[in-house]
Structure 1
Amino acid sequence: MKRGVQTFLSIGFSIVMLVLFVIFIMRDDHYRYPIALGGIACALVPLILDKIFNVRFALPFILSYFAFLIGSLCLGSMLRFYHLGWWDTFLHFLSGTLVAFLAIDLMGKLTTKQSQSEMSAGFIFLFVFTFGVFCGAMWEIWEFSSDQFLGTNTQGGGNFDTMTDIIADSVGALIIAFWNARRSRKKNKDV
């Protein structure tokens, strides 16, 4: 089931982006056609990882990944939702949930079932939450470096923008960390 959803989302999103790419090329829209092209590449990443490297992701990660792609590429960049003051913050919240789900996936892939059942809910919470905060901080370091060395303006609001983004990432990761810790505690009680 999960694999079918991943394949459907990857191919479906790629087709939509391909159609948009062609439309934007025909309209000579030099701003949007590279975004559509990038969307095709991003949509195919989970499918390529699955088919070539046999790396599969859990359904919550896949769903949050495609929600983030839709939010950032389609709504944010193509439809210019980034002009809404709260949109970037919302996407940072969403990315916090995305990387928290990735942390859960990584923990499942890097540990045995036995060791997972022996992990405390507190440890699992701490791992998932700190992974989310770490990824958010690394993104802000990337934005800062890009602004300093490439002359971009990704941190237009300066320190306020950076801190708002990190807080939004952290809140998203915190919610998923709490949810997962409760789920893990319940699962371990049932064993």
Structure 2
Amino acid sequence: MNRKLVILLSTVYVLFMAGLAIFFHINGQSFKSMVAIGGIVCGAIPLLLALLTKLQFNLPIVLSYLIFLVGSQYLGSIKGWYGLGWWDTIMHLISGAIIAFTAIALYERLIHRDAGNDISPWFVFLFTLSFAALGGVMWEIYEFSSDQFFGMTLQGGGNTDTMTDLIADVVGGLLIAIWAGVRTKVKLTSTNMHSA
């Protein structure tokens, strides 16, 4: 059921962005058209994962991701909410947290089950934080590349904008990484008490 819902929601978002891309292209609004094309690509990620791989993320992560895309691409870039100033920072804070939750989901699916009882909470913390930071860096590379190759202005604030975004990504990831590390420590303590 979750897989079908992920496919449905991702398809709706991709089609919505495709419609916007065509509409803005016809009306000569190239910036908004390019953002919408980016929306098609980003919205297709959970769709492709659901269709082409066995790797499935839980529904709250996919829903959070799609809500984030609406907030960043549609509300932020197309509707102009990034002009509010604080909207960009909020979006990066949220994206850092979402990427950190994705790291936890990946970790729990990819690690060998027998290793779960011996894993260090510090490793979980560092893995989660590093994954969130990497996600933030990859997004800034996307913004930089879009500005350089397509004449967009995603990094309108220059270095200050980039660093503020990265700090917000790391703070969002840090909060979830702390929670993940503590949760792992509690699980280990509980497992050790039951096995003693």
Question: What is residue 6 of structure 2 aligned with on the other side?
Answer: 6
Alignment root-mean-square deviation, CA:
3.0
Deviation per CA, 1:91-138, whole angstroms, max 9, x where unpaired? 211221122122212322331122123212222112101221233234
For 1:71, what is the secondary structure of its paired residue? helix
Cα distance change on mapping 1:6 and 1:147 into 2, 3 Å:
closer
Q: State the one-letter code of the partner of 1:53.
A: T
Q: Residues 15 and 149 of structure 1: is their aligned pair in 2 closer, same or farther, counting only changes over 3 Å?
A: closer
Counterpart in the other structure of 1:118? 118
User: Pairwise mapping of residues 1-191 of structure 1 onto structure 2 (< 5 A)?
Assistant: 1-21=1-21, 23-24=23-24, 29-140=29-140, 143=143, 153-191=153-191
Give the whole-Å Cα distance in 2 for the aligned partners of 1:149 and 1:30: 13
Instruction: State whether residues 122 and 181 of structure 1, in contact with CA within 8 Å, keep that contact through their aligned partners in structure 2.
Output: yes
Amino acid at match of 2:173: A
In structure 2, how many angstroms separate the alpha carbons of the residues matched to 1:58 and 1:30?
Answer: 35
Residue type at the aligned position of 1:56 = Q
Farther off after superposition, 143-152 or 43-52:
143-152
Q: What amino acid does structure 1 have at the position aligned with 2:168? A: A
TM-score, with structure 2 as normaliser: 0.78
Any unmatched runs of 5+ in structure 1? Answer: none
Residue aligned with 2:155, SS: coil
| One-letter amino acid matched to 2:115 | S
Q: CA deviation at 1:189?
A: 4.2
Distance across 2 between alignment mates of 1:40 and 1:53: 19
How many Å separate the matches in 2 of 1:93 and 1:51? 29
What's the CA shift for 1:178? 2.0
Deviation at residue 24 of structure 1 after TM alignment: 4.2
Give the aligned length: 191
For 1:16 and 1:142, how far apart are their aligned partners in 2? 22
Q: 1:151 to 1:34 in 2, by over 3 A?
A: closer
Q: Which deviates more, 25-34 or 173-182? A: 25-34
TM-aligned CA distance change 1:159 to 1:52, over 3 Å: closer
Is the CA contact (8 Å cut-off) linking 2:7 and 2:50 kept in structure 1? no
Q: Which moved more, 1:34-43 or 1:167-176?
A: 34-43
Report the AA paired with residue 46 of structure 1. Answer: P
Does structure 2 conserve the Cα–Cα contact (< 8 Å) formed by 1:60 and 1:101?
A: no
